C-alpha cells in the first residue's frame, strides 16, 4: 500500500537530499468513544492505512514542508515559526515542531515530505498519523527519543495547543503503540494498556459513509463541554470525582436532575461506554464474540441516541450491516458526525459482506461508500 521507494524519489526530486522515512498508522476504534478525555477506556487498533514522513536537513535556516496529497509546499523560518495554526494542513507538522521547541529543543532547518492514504476527515485519525510520523522524523534529526506514551502526549499537545482541536489521547497513542493483529485496551488515566488479540477468523471491515467529520469542528467541542458540565455537578456532591471516569450511573440517578438535559444524556453515554469498553476487552480475550457484538450494538445506540454523535448515513450503514451474513458487531467509529463504521465480520464472509454492504448503502443513501477490509497493524517506526 505504501510504496516507500516512490515516496523517497519524490522527496529527492524536490529537495535533492536522501530522506529518513518514518511511517505512522491511522486507527479504528472498536469501542470507547469520547471517553478518552474523560480519563476513561478506549479499545482502538492501528490499521494498514498510514502517513509517511520523509525528512532531510537543510542549511538555509528554513523549514520547508511539502504534502504530496495536497501537491503543495509551505516555507517557514526555523527560528521564528508561527505561534499558532491557521487552519492549513501544515498546522499538523508545524504544531509538532512548535511543541518540541517549547520543550526546549532547538528546531533545525529541514525539508519534510508527507504522504498518506488514511482517508481524510473519515474518523480514522489521519491527523494523528501526520503528527506521529512528523514527530519521529523531527526527533531523529534532533537526535532525541521519547518513550511511547510521552511521544503520544506530545503529538496530542500539538493538536490541542497549536491546531486548536480539543481531542483526547487515543489516536496519537494507538498510532505510536499499535500492535499487529491486536486491539489495545487503553486506560486513558495512566496510559497503561492491555493487548487484546483479534482472532485470525475475524476481519475488520471499515465502511466509509463519505460524510466528512472534523474533530476541530464545533460539535466535538460542544459534546465535550456538555459532558464536562455534567461531571462538574457530580463533583459538587462527591469529592474525588474529577472526570466522568470517576462517576457512576448511580450518580446520575441522584443528581441528574441538576444537570441540563443534554448534559445528562452525554454523561450517561460516557459512563456506560466505559463499562462496555472494559467488558468488550474481556469478551474479545475470552473469544465471546456474541457478547462483543452485543456491546458494540449497545455502544452504537448510546452514541447515536444519548451522545447524538451519529448521523442518518452512519445509522443506515450500521443498520444495513445487521442483516448480512458473518456480522459480529458494527458501530460508528471515531469522533462522530460522519466518517466510518467499524464492522467485525467472520473472515470467510468478509468479501461478500463488504460488497453487499456497499451495494445496500448506495441504494439506500444514494452515496457510493468506500469499504475496506483492514488489518490491525503495528505502531509508528522508521522505514529501513
Give catalytic residue positions.
Answer: 171
- Residue 33 as a binder of ligand GLA (CB under 6 A): the answer is yes
Give the 3-state secondary structure of residue 251. Answer: helix
Give the 3-state secondary structure of residue 374. Answer: strand
Whose Cβ is closer to ligand GLA: residue 111's or residue 274's?
A: 274
Q: How far is the CB of 168 from ligand GLA (least distance, A)?
A: 3
- Residue 157 as a binder of ligand GLA (CB under 6 A): the answer is no
Residue matched to cell numbers 492514504: 117
Whose Cβ is closer to ligand GLA: residue 364's or residue 372's?
A: 372
Site string for ligand GLA, 94-133 (x = CB under 6 A): -------------------------------x--------
User: In terms of DSSP H, where are the helices of the chain?
Assistant: 4-15, 91-102, 126-142, 148-157, 170-177, 218-237, 249-255, 261-285, 289-301, 312-322, 350-365
- Residue 170 as a binder of ligand GLA (CB under 6 A): the answer is yes
Residue matched to cell numbers 471517553: 35
What would the 3-class secondary structure string for 62-95 be? Answer: EEEEEECCCCEEEEEECCCCCCCCCCCCCHHHHH
Q: How far is the CB of 366 from ligand GLA (least distance, A)?
A: 27
- Residue 330 as a binder of ligand GLA (CB under 6 A): the answer is no
CB-based contacts of 294: which residues, under 8 Å, 6+ apart? 329
Residue matched to cell numbers 441528574: 256
Whose Cβ is closer to ligand GLA: residue 74's or residue 266's?
A: 266
Task: Give one DSSP letter per residue of 302-328, joined into a string.
Answer: IIIIIS----HHHHHHHHHHHTSTTEE
Q: What is the C-alpha to C-alpha distance for residues 60 and 242, in angstroms, rounded to an integer?
A: 48
Q: How far is the CB of 201 from ligand GLA (least distance, A)?
A: 27
CB-based contacts of 26: which residues, under 8 Å, 6+ apart? 46, 47, 49, 50, 51, 116, 118, 124, 125, 126, 128, 129, 175
Among 1-9, 34-42, 78-86, 300-308, the segment contacting ligand GLA (CB under 6 A): 34-42
Q: How far is the CB of 16 from ligand GLA (least distance, A)?
A: 36
Q: How far is the CB of 42 from ligand GLA (least distance, A)?
A: 6
Q: How far is the CB of 348 from ligand GLA (least distance, A)?
A: 30
Please give the span between the terminal C-alpha atoms of the chain, in angstroms, as a whole number: 16
Whose Cβ is closer to ligand GLA: residue 91's or residue 171's?
A: 171
- Residue 313 as a binder of ligand GLA (CB under 6 A): the answer is no
Q: What is the C-alpha to C-alpha distance for residues 376 and 284, in angstroms, rounded to an integer?
A: 14
- Residue 39 as a binder of ligand GLA (CB under 6 A): the answer is no
CA nearest to 186, candidates 17, 60, 38? 38
* Count of residues making up the chain: 384
Among 31-39, 263-271, 276-284, 289-297, the segment contacting ligand GLA (CB under 6 A): 31-39
- Residue 153 as a binder of ligand GLA (CB under 6 A): the answer is no
- Residue 308 as a binder of ligand GLA (CB under 6 A): the answer is no
Whose Cβ is closer to ligand GLA: residue 140's or residue 160's?
A: 160
Residues in binding contact with ligand GLA, number by CB under 6 A: 13
- Residue 168 as a binder of ligand GLA (CB under 6 A): the answer is yes
- Cβ atoms of residues 52 and 2 within 8 Å: yes
Q: How far is the CB of 33 from ligand GLA (least distance, A)?
A: 4
Q: What is the C-alpha to C-alpha distance for residues 30 and 269, in angstroms, rounded to an integer?
A: 16
Among 28-36, 237-245, 275-283, 312-320, the segment contacting ligand GLA (CB under 6 A): 28-36
Among 2-10, 18-26, 137-145, 166-174, the segment contacting ligand GLA (CB under 6 A): 166-174
- Residue 276 as a binder of ligand GLA (CB under 6 A): the answer is no
Cell of 113: 515530505
Site string for ligand GLA, 193-232 (x = CB under 6 A): ----------------------x-----------------
Cell of 273: 461506554
What DSSP state is assigned to residue 1?
-
Q: Quickly count: other Cβ atoms within 10 Å of residue 143's Cβ.
A: 8
Residues lying near ligand GLA in the complex (CB under 6 A): 29, 33-34, 36-37, 125, 167-168, 170-171, 215, 334-335
Amino acid at each position: 500500500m505504501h510504496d516507500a521507494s516512490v515516496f523517497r524519489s519524490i522527496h529527492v526530486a524536490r529537495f535533492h537530499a536522501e530522506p529518513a522515512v518514518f511511517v505512522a498508522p491511522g486507527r479504528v476504534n472498536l469501542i470507547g468513544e469520547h471517553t478518552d478525555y474523560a480519563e476513561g477506556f478506549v479499545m482502538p487498533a492501528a490499521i494498514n492505512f498510514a502517513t509517511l514522513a520523509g525528512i532531510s536537513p537543510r542549511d538555509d535556516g528554513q523549514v520547508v514542508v511539502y504534502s504530496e496529497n495536497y501537491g503543495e509546499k509551505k516555507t517557514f523560518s526555523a527560528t521564528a515559526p508561527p505561534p499558532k495554526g491557521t487552519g492549513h494542513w501544515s498546522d499538523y507538522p508545524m504544531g509538532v515542531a512548535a511543541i518540541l521547541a517549547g520543550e526546549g529543543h532547538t528546531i533545525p532547518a529541514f525539508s519534510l515530505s508527507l504522504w498518506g492514504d488514511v482517508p481524510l476527515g473519515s474518523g480514522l485519525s489521519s491527523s494523528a498519523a501526520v503528527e506521529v510520523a512528523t514527530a519521529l522524523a523531527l526527533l531523529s534529526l534532533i537526535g532525541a527519543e521519547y518513550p511511547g506514551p510521552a511521544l503520544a502526549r506530545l503529538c496530542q499537545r500539538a493538536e490541542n495547543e497549536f491546531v486548536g482541536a480539543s481531542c483526547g489521547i487515543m489516536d496519537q497513542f494507538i498510532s505510536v503503540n499499535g500492535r499487529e493483529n491486536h486491539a489495545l485496551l487503553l486506560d486513558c488515566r495512566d496510559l497503561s494498556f492491555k493487548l487484546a488479540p483479534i482472532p485470525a477468523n475475524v476481519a475488520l471491515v471499515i465502511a466509509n459513509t463519505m460524510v466528512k467529520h472534523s474533530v476541530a469542528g464545533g460539535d466535538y467541542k460542544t459534546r465535550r463541554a456538555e459532558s464536562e458540565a455534567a461531571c462538574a455537578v457530580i463533583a459538587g456532591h462527591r469529592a474525588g470525582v474529577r472526570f466522568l471516569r470517576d462517576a457512576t450511573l448511580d450518580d446520575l440517578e441522584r443528581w441528574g436532575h441538576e444537570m441540563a438535559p443534554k448534559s445528562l444524556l452525554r454523561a450517561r453515554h460516557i459512563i456506560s461506554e466505559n463499562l462496555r469498553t472494559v467488558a468488550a476487552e474481556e469478551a474479545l480475550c475470552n473469544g465471546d464474540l456474541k457478547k462483543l457484538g452485543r456491546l458494540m450494538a449497545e455502544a452504537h445506540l448510546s452514541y447515536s441516541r444519548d451522545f447524538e454523535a451519529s448521523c442518518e448515513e452512519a445509522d443506515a450503514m450500521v443498520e444495513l450491516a445487521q442483516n448480512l451474513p458473518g456480522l459480529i458487531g458494527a458501530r460508528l467509529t471515531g469522533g462522530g458526525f460522519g466518517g466510518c463504521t467499524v464492522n467485525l465480520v467472520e473472515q470467510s464472509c468478509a468479501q461478500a459482506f463488504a460488497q453487499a454492504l456497499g451495494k445496500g448503502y448506495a441504494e439506500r443513501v444514494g452515496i457510493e461508500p468506500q469499504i475496506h477490509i483492514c488489518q490491525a497493524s503495528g505502531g509508528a517506526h522508521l522505514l529501513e
